[in-house]
Amino acid sequence: MFGDAGPFIARIASNTAYQVYAPWRFSTGAFFVGSRPLFCGSENNIGKNKGGNYMKSRTKQVTGIAMLAAIAYVVMLAGVHFMPSAPFLKYEPKDVILTIGGFLYGPLAALGAAFVVALIEMFTVSTTGIWGFVMNLLAAAAFTCTASLVYHRRRTARGAVTGLVAGALLMTGAMLLWNYLITPIYTGWPREQVAAMLVPVFLPFNLIKGCLNAAIILFVYKPLMKALRAARLLPDGRQGGGRADGPEGAAAGRGRVNVGLLLFAAFLLITSLTAIIVLQLTGK
């Protein structure tokens, strides 16, 4: 049924990425990759260099965003239910891919990709219509944009962890509010019933979701970047000053594994899986 969806999503995501991402990266006299200036000069100088490395770089960026959006849609289809008391809630790992896109290209790129994925999801698999689209976009934006914004201000392993934790907490708090306001509209449930579900249902669901997202991102970021660079869709991981670009930090840039980062990711993953098992056993 969805065999032809990938290229279609990639085309839409590519157009959206160009409209959202490319203008944002221009400022007077500078072109940016991520949050770092690639070169500076007058707008005339920028125009003179359009036929060179700039065009190649922009093409790879747009292609990368489109490809990540398509992957996010595919992994969304592999979502799982882990809340017995709320079978309408489904964990979809698409935020993992969207956040990686945000780490690479910035929070606005992540927001644009999240918009495209949520829109395609609404027209293909969602049964909640426009309100489901809104809720999906709000949740994805709260996590991915927060994490990528913090990371782009501090491109280190600590910055990545801080961003992911902040994203998980902000998403959890924001979705308590939005579920209270919006869920009664598209479910027809009394607001009092939804309010009674905030702490026992929506709070643990979003906390577990945020922890799972963070753990998976920390585990898969490095191998995914290697694959994208091998496919020549990304430049070399070292940017200005020779520092490795990515949550794995400078140690990974020298070929070493950041053990502390992996231990933190393992802690989040084990804690999340334990919580899911408890919920399954208790039926909550």
Domain residue spans of the chain: 5-282
pLDDT at 47: 46
Q: How many residues does the structure list for the chain?
A: 284
5-282 maps to CATH 3.40.50.970: no
- Integer angstrom CA distances of residue 125 from 50, 76, 87, 90, 183: 40, 10, 16, 13, 18
3-state DSSP assignment of residue 234 = coil
Q: What is the C-alpha separation between 154 and 173, in angstroms, rounded?
A: 24
Which residues, given as ranges, of the chain have pLDDT below 70?
Answer: 1-54, 233-256
> What was the pLDDT predicted at 164?
97
Quote the pLDDT of residue 276: 95
* Rounded to 5°, angle at Cα 248 from 257 and 98: 135
Contact 92, 8 (CB under 8 A): no
Which helix (H) or strand (E) segment is 197 a member of? helix 191-197
Determine if residue 156 is left, alpha or beta; phi over 0 gives left, psi from -120 to 50 gives alpha, anything else beta: beta
Q: So what's the pLDDT on residue 236?
A: 61
**And the tokens for 135?**
């809720």
Gap between the Cα atoms of 272 and 214, Å rounded: 11
So what's the pLDDT on residue 243?
43
The dihedral region occupied by 44, where left means phi > 0, alpha psi between -120 and 50, and beta the remainder, is alpha
